[in-house]
Amino acid sequence: MNQETDGIRQNGGRGRDLDAFDRKLLSLLVEDATRSYVELGEQIGLSAPAVHERVKRLKRTGAIRQTAALLNPIAIHKTLLAFVHVDTHGWGKSPELLAISKYPEVEEMHSVAGDTCMLLKVRTKDSRALEGLLARIYDVPGVIKTRSYVVLSTHMERPVQADITTEWPAPRQAARPPR
């Protein structure tokens, strides 16, 4: 096997993958990007300049897209969160529909598989504003209908996590049908 290359090489040639240090670093920075480099270094066992170098690389290579302040929606009076499914006539990715993302109330816009074409995450001041936004969506040519899921309470909401579950526990009940 390759027990020789395993464990030995931390970082190979070009565009190499993240090692354990990078992973931990990303985890820490997602949690709190204001930590000092010395503190980060203590957590993962590296010196401050080494951490600095790695963070710089993670930004350069695009693993870290941006570092942002995450706001409390209530503080800025956006108390209504909703997911809006948009069904369109034909191929839905029209420029007009994409232009909807200009509104600061729209936080996400995805093309999805399933019985709908586009999925929006929108956060507004109140139901009145949601209505205004929906009106704009219906203005887009080709939009057939929308289905909105209004959030009653958010139990958890966080940015992309660096960690990955490597081993999924087996289901408790019966074995699920394969495929």
Partner DNA sequence: ATATTGACCGAATCGTATTCAGCCACAAGC
Partner DNA sequence: GCTTGTGGCTGAATACGATTCGGTCAATAT
- The footprint of its own copies on residues 31-90 (CB under 8 A) is 31-34, 61-73, 75-78, 81, 83, 85
* Orientation angle between helical segments 20-31 and 37-44, nearest 10 degrees: 130
Annotate each residue in 6-25 with x if it binds DNA (CB under 7 A) or - if it does not, as one string.
--xxxx-x--x----x----
List binders of its own copies among 123-142 (CB under 8 A): 123, 125, 129, 131-133, 135-136, 138-139
Q: Give Dmax over CA atoms of the chain in angstroms.
A: 64
Binding residue (CB under 7 A) for DNA from 18, 28, 29, 48: 48
Give the pairing type, strands 80-88 and 118-124.
antiparallel
Q: Which residues contact 158 (CB under 8 A, 6 or more apart)?
A: none
By beta-carbon proximity to its own copies, the closer residue of 4 and 114 is 114
Site for its own copies contains 147 (CB under 8 A): yes
Exposure letters 139-163 (e unless 16+ CB within 10 A, then b):
ebebbeebeeeeeeeeeeeeeeebe
Smallest gap from Cβ 8 to DNA, in A, equals: 5
The DSSP symbol for 35 reads: -
Judged by beta carbon distances under 5 to 8 A according to partner kind, the member of its own copies, DNA, none in contact with residue 149 is its own copies
The C-alpha atoms of residue 114 and residue 175 are separated, in whole angstroms, by 26
Residues forming beta bridges with residue 83, ordered by sequence position: 121, 149
6 contacts which partner out of DNA, its own copies, none, CB within 5 to 8 A by kind?
A: none
Q: Which does 75 bind (CB under 5 to 8 A by kind): DNA, its own copies, none?
A: its own copies
Candidate ranges 4-12, 86-94, 100-108, 130-138; the one touching DNA (CB under 7 A): 4-12
Rounded CA-CA distance 146/150 in Å is 12
38 binds DNA (CB under 7 A): yes
Residues of the shown chain interacting with DNA in the complex, contacts defined by CB under 7 A: 5, 8-11, 13, 16, 21, 35-38, 41, 45-50, 52-54
